[in-house]
Structure formats: structure tokens, C-alpha cells
Amino acid sequence: MATIHHPDIRTIPLSAVLAALSDPTRLEIVRSLAKKACTCGSLDIEASKSALSHHVKVLRQAGVIHQKAEGTSRVTTLRREELDARFPGLLDSVLRAKGPI
Amino acid sequence: MATIHHPDIRTIPLSAVLAALSDPTRLEIVRSLAKKACTCGSLDIEASKSALSHHVKVLRQAGVIHQKAEGTSRVTTLRREELDARFPGLLDSVLRAKGPI
DNA sequence: TCGTTAATTCAAAGATTTTTGAACAATATA
DNA sequence: TATATTGTTCAAAAATCTTTGAATTAACGA
């Protein structure tokens, strides 16, 4: 597989991160990743595999997640420390939010 | 003018607030309102008045802003305390974020 | 009352996102 | 080598969002 591109977090606009997080499916993915790293397939999300692939790509391009090829899978993790440095408090507030998603 | 509807902040999904904040024009509006209350007309935003009206409506429906009729204008304010109570840290992180919008 | 100001609404156009399913690529395993 | 697994990519369809300009509404002041 070609190398997976991860944008420099400093170049990412705030609006892009907010847009990436503003989709309920992607919020689910992020909240799941906050608990533990996952491969796409092991995510318990209701979506076709191409839709899931799309959402994961949006999150990656927004600098929210990191992926590493591992065999035929991709191990996906939150770019938590980097995000916290770039947008202090943002991810925490999203992960801790109560009520309707 | 008919009364202006402001949704109960407890019913607003996190994704709706993030979606409202994910547009650069709306982020500008919010950042401007964080400094001082405004009428639509006094906002220094590049957009037609109907586009501005649309964006302000999206922010109002997402519970981000409050509007009060005052003569022919509408005085617009951030629902800061309510938002802080519902999504602690979210607005602060958005307002303090450095770098590209 | 008439004109002005401030802003909303509407419908249409334009743009962007999301979903789908089929085809494809890369790796692993029998 | 064949086959299964994991995930990507593509193009088309569907859905959603944004912008525009014209028409409208409401409140104010002369």
C-alpha cells in the first residue's frame, strides 16, 4: 500500500477540525478511538465499508486521527497530544460532552 | 415581527453545535460576538445580507447565539454561559484557537 | 402617511458531502 | 498459487448546504 499521508497539524484550519467532528458517525469513531486504538473493521459503527472508509479519511485529512498499516489492516489512533497542543481543550470538551450527539 | 425562537440548549446535539461552528463565516461572527454584542448590519463580515441572515439563523438554531428585536434591528449575543454549562470548554477552545481559521 | 432602515423569506442555482455498490489492491494464509 | 481478509477507489446518485437576488415584513422618523 502507498504511504498514508498525515497533514501537519499546524496547517489545519479550525473550521476543518470542527467540520470533521460535526458528523455523528465520525463523532462515534472519535469517541471509540478515545477508549482504544482500532482497525476500521473492529469499529462498531453502522455504515458500509466504503462510507466508513470515507469518514476515516475525512478525520485523517483533518488531522484528527493517525493510521498505520499493519498487515491488511490499518491501526487507527487519535492524534490526541497533537490536537491538544494545537487546539487546547477542544477534544476534551467533545469527548466529555453529555446529552444528544 | 414574530417572536424569535431560541431552542432549549439541553436538546441541542453536540454535532449541531460543531456543524454551526464549522463554517468560517460563522466562526467570524461568533468571534466578533465574543468581543461585543452586535446587530447583523454592524457585523463586519463579507457576505450578502441574505447569506448573513442565513448564517445567523443557523447559529441561533444551534443554540449558539441569542437575538432580541430592538427597533428594526436585532441585537445578537453569544449564549456563552448556557453553552459553557452544556459543553464545558468548547466555546473557550474555539475562541482561543490560534492559526488558520 | 410616505419613505427609510434592518432584516427575513422564498425559490432557484451552485457547490459540497454522503452513500452505494462494483472493481481493485495489498497482504496473509492454506 | 489460489483464496480470504481488509480496506481503498471510482463514478453515480442522493442528500444537504450555501449563495443569490427579488419580494416582503416590521418598525421608525419626517
Q: Identify the band that residue A44 occupies on the pLDDT scale cut at 50, 70 and 90.
A: confident
- A16 burial (CB, 10 Å; 0-12 / 13-18 / 19+) is buried
Query: Can you list the domains of chain B with their CATH numbers?
Result: 9-95 (1.10.10.10)
Please report, in angstroms and rounded to a whole number, the separation of the first and last CA atoms in chain B. 35
pLDDT under 50: residue ranges of chain B: none
| Nucleotides in chain D with any atom closer than 7 Å to protein CB | 4-11, 17-23, 25-28
Residues A101 and A27 sit within 8 Å (Cβ to Cβ): yes
Residue among B68, B66, B33, B15 at smallest CA distance from A23: B15
% of chain A residues with pLDDT over 90: 89
* B86 contact residues in A (CB cutoff 8 A): 97, 99
Q: What Cα–Cα distance (Å) separates residue A57 from each residue in A8, A85, A93, B38, B98?
A: 15, 22, 23, 38, 24
Looking at residue B35, what is its pLDDT?
93
Find the residue in A nearest to B20 (Cα).
Answer: A22
Q: What angle do CA B87, A83, A34 make, to 5 degrees?
A: 70
Instruction: Write out pLDDT tens, residues A50-96.
Output: 999 999 999 999 999 999 999 999 999 999 999 999 999 999 999 99
